[in-house]
Structure 1
Amino acid sequence: MHHASAPDITVIIAVYNAMPYLNECLDSALGQSLGAERLEVIAVDDGSTDGSGAELDRYAARHPQLRVVHQPNSGGPGGPRNRALDLARGRYLFVLDADDYLGPEALERLLDMAEAQGSDVVLAKQVGLGRTVSDKAHRHAEEADLHTSEVYRSLHSAKLMRRQVIEDARLRYPEDLWYGEDQIFVTEVFLAAGKISVVGDYDCYFLRRREDGQNITSRQRTAGETVAHIERVMALVADRVQD
C-alpha cells in the first residue's frame, strides 16, 4: 500500500544480477534521513537470474515505500528506468544504480538545495570506489551555469531531477543503446533545466567498480557501440545551444 499524497522523491533502481551489492544499495535508499513517508523507491528487475528479483520481493514485503516490478531482460538499463519513470509519483527523481549506494543524508541535502534554490537539477557529489569521478563537476554551487561551470563533466544519472521538467519535455532514456544511454538522457535534462545546483560538500553517491567485473560499463563493446551515444549528444548540443 502506498501513500496517497505524492512523495517528495522517487528513487529509481534498474536491477539486473546485482547481488550481493543490491542489499547495500537498498539499505542506503530505504534508510535515508529524509524519512520513509517522503520517499518512494521503484525497483525494476530486468530479468535477473541471480536471485536479485527474490531479494527485491523480500525487501518490498517489509518496506511499503518500495515498489518492485519484474520484466523480461531488455538488454540495458534504459528500458527498466523508463518503466520506473512511467510509474513515478515523486516531485523529484533520483536514479540509483543497483551496485552503488547513497550517503545517509544524501537525498535530504539534495532536496534542501533544490527547494532553497528552485533548482530543476541538483548534482550529487560522487565518491569513486575503484572508479573515476569528476571533482570539477561536483564543486558545491547554489547555481551552476551550464555554459560557465563544469557540470557537463558529469553525465551519470545520479542526480536529483524535477519530474515536471522531464515530463514536460517528454524525456526518456534511449532503449536502443546499452552503453552511454544515460549521457543522452542527462544532456537532455540539463538543456531543459531552468536552474542547476550542486551539493558538493557531502559525500552523496558512492560509485562502485564491482569486484566481479560485471559493471555494464565493463562489458566488451564494439567501436560503434563505444561512440554511438557521443554522436547523439553532440547533435543534441548543436541543435539546442546557441553559438
Structure 2
Amino acid sequence: MSQSIEVVIPVHDPARPLERGLRSILRQQEGLAALGVELRATVVCHNIAPEDIKSSIPADLASHASVVWLHHADGIKSPAGPRNVALDASSATFLCFLDSDDFLEAGSLAAWWQLAEARTAAAVIAPLRTPEGNILRSPRIRPSKPAVLNAVKDGLAYRSVPYGLLRRSSLLAIGFRYAEGIATGEDITTTLKLWFRAGTICYPYDAPAYHQTDDSGPNRVTSSILPLAEEFAWLDGLLTEPWLLSAPEVERRAVALKILRVHGVGALLRRAAFEPAAGQEPWNSGESRRWSVLLANLKTFAGGGLPALSRKDAALCLAATKAQDQRELRAAVVLHQKSGRQQELLTDQPCGVLSRESVLRHYLNEQLRSKTGVYATPEV
C-alpha cells in the first residue's frame, strides 16, 4: 500500500479500557485498505510489562498482526515519554495519538485521511466528542467553515492537544516532541508550533469524531492542586521559544490571551474551590507573587497588554496578585462569578471590544457557527 496510518496508544494500567480503543481502530482497516492505506496500532506499555497489558485484553487483540507492542520505562507519570518513543520508532505516513480510555468513531480515520490528502495537510484537527456526547466547540473556527484554517483567525490556540491525523514528515520538520520531565502541559508548546508553523491545517466538517470518555480505571490519580511553579512549568519554555519570540504580535497576543483565559483563570478557579487537607495551602503570599510574575510575563510576551481580555477576567487576575491566602482568593472568585453580562462582554481596554479575540465577537460567532453547522457530526 502507498500510505500508512499508525495510531499510538500509551497505556500504564491494565484497568484502562484498551480493548475498546483497539477495536475502534482495527474495525477501520478494511475501509482504509480500499483506499490504499495500511493501518496499524502501536501500544506503548509505560512503566509496566507488555505481558501485563496483553493479559488484560482478549487474545485475538493481544496477538493481532496489526498491533505493535513497545515497552518504555522511565519512572515518570507522564505520557510524553511513551509518545516520543512511538514517534521515534514510526515509519508511518500519518500518526494519530489516542488516549487509552478513549476511542475513534467508525469511519473517522478514512474521513480525516481523505481531507489530509485532498489538501496536502500537515494535520487534520479531529472533531472532539466529550464524554457527555457533545462536540467540543474548539478551535474557534470561523462560521464560514474555511477549507484551510488560519492559526489566529480560527483560534487554533484553543485546541491544546494534537488529537487528529498528523503527517509524520511535518512533525519531523518542526521538531515535534512532547515535553518530558514536567507534571502537566507536556503537549501545549509543541501543539502550538504544529498549528502555527507546520503548514496546512484543516478541520473535517461533518466527519466522525475522536471520542473522549470518563472510563479511566480505578487507579487514576485523583485530581490535586500543584504549586503554580509546577503546574506552569511548561510556560517558561514556551515564552522563550525562538519561533514565538519572532512571531508577529497578533500571534503572540492570541497565544497569551488563550493561556490566561483557559489555563490562568482556570488555575485560580480551581484553587479557590479546592478543599485542602490539614496543612495544605492552595494559595498563599508566595503563590500570589508567582501569579504576579506569570501575569506580567504574559503581558510582556503579548507586546505590553491584552486589550481583548474581559473586564471580568482582568479584575480577577489583578485581585489574585493581591490575595494573600485562600480566603481572599475565594472572595475574588465570588466577585468574578457574580459579575454581570456587561463585565463579561466589555473589555479591560475599550479598544479591544470589537477585536477578533473579544468575548463579544466570540459569542456572535458562536451563533453563526451553529447556523452554518461548523461542529456538526454524524450521530453515534
TM-score bracket relative to the smaller structure: 0.7 to 0.9
1:64-213 map, 5 Å? 64-72=65-73, 73-130=75-132, 134-137=136-139, 139=141, 141-210=146-215, 212=217
The answer for the alignment partner of 2:43 in structure 1 is: 43
**One-letter code aligned to 1:92:** F
Instruction: Give the secondary-structure state (helix, strand or coil) at the position aligned to 2:184.
Output: coil
**One-letter code aligned to 1:239:** L
**One-letter code aligned to 1:70:** H
Q: Which ranges in structure 2 are unaligned for 5 or more consecutive residues?
A: 250-380
Paired with 2:27 and 2:203, the residues of 1 have a C-alpha distance of: 22
Paired with 1:141 and 1:206, the residues of 2 have a C-alpha distance of: 23
Paired with 1:53 and 1:179, the residues of 2 have a C-alpha distance of: 28
Paired with 2:227 and 2:60, the residues of 1 have a C-alpha distance of: 37
Shift of 1:129: 0.2
> Are 2:96 and 2:164, in contact at CA under 8 Å, matched by a contact in 1?
yes
CA distances 1:16-37 after superposition (whole Å, capped 9, x unpaired): 1152421111111121242496
> Are 2:174 and 2:198, in contact at CA under 8 Å, matched by a contact in 1?
no
Shift of 1:207: 1.4
Paired with 2:53 and 2:140, the residues of 1 have a C-alpha distance of: 31
Q: Which has the higher strand share?
A: 1
Instruction: Give the secondary-structure state (helix, strand or coil) at the position aligned to 1:129.
Output: coil
The answer for the alignment partner of 1:25 in structure 2 is: 21
Give the TM-score normalised by structure 1: 0.85
> Are 2:122 and 2:201, in contact at CA under 8 Å, matched by a contact in 1?
yes
Paired with 2:134 and 2:103, the residues of 1 have a C-alpha distance of: 16
**One-letter code aligned to 2:38:** R
Paired with 2:225 and 2:120, the residues of 1 have a C-alpha distance of: 41
1:11 maps to 2:11:
no
Which deviates more from structure 2 when the two are superposed, residues 62-71 or residues 98-107?
Answer: 62-71
CA distances 1:47-85 after superposition (whole Å, capped 9, x unpaired): 238943434694555421110012324321010001100
**One-letter code aligned to 2:121:** S
Percent identity over the alignment is 23
Instruction: Give the secondary-structure state (helix, strand or coil) at the position aligned to 2:212.
Output: strand
Instruction: Give the secondary-structure state (helix, strand or coil) at the position aligned to 1:181.
Output: coil
> Are 1:14 and 1:97, in contact at CA under 8 Å, matched by a contact in 2?
yes
1:233 maps to 2:234:
no
Alignment CA distance shift 1:210-1:225 (3 Å):
farther
Alignment CA distance shift 1:53-1:70 (3 Å):
farther
Q: Which has the higher helix share?
A: 2
Paired with 2:26 and 2:137, the residues of 1 have a C-alpha distance of: 27
Higher relative contact order (CA 8 A, sep 6+): 1
Shift of 1:128: 0.5
1:205-224 map, 5 Å? 205-210=210-215, 212=217, 218=223, 220-224=225-229
Paired with 1:19 and 1:47, the residues of 2 have a C-alpha distance of: 14
Alignment CA distance shift 1:59-1:45 (3 Å):
farther
Q: How many pairs align? A: 239
Shift of 1:164: 0.5
CA RMSD of aligned residues (A): 2.9
> Are 2:130 and 2:136, in contact at CA under 8 Å, matched by a contact in 1?
no
Give the TM-score normalised by structure 2: 0.56
The answer for the alignment partner of 2:248 in structure 1 is: 242
Shift of 1:131: 9.4
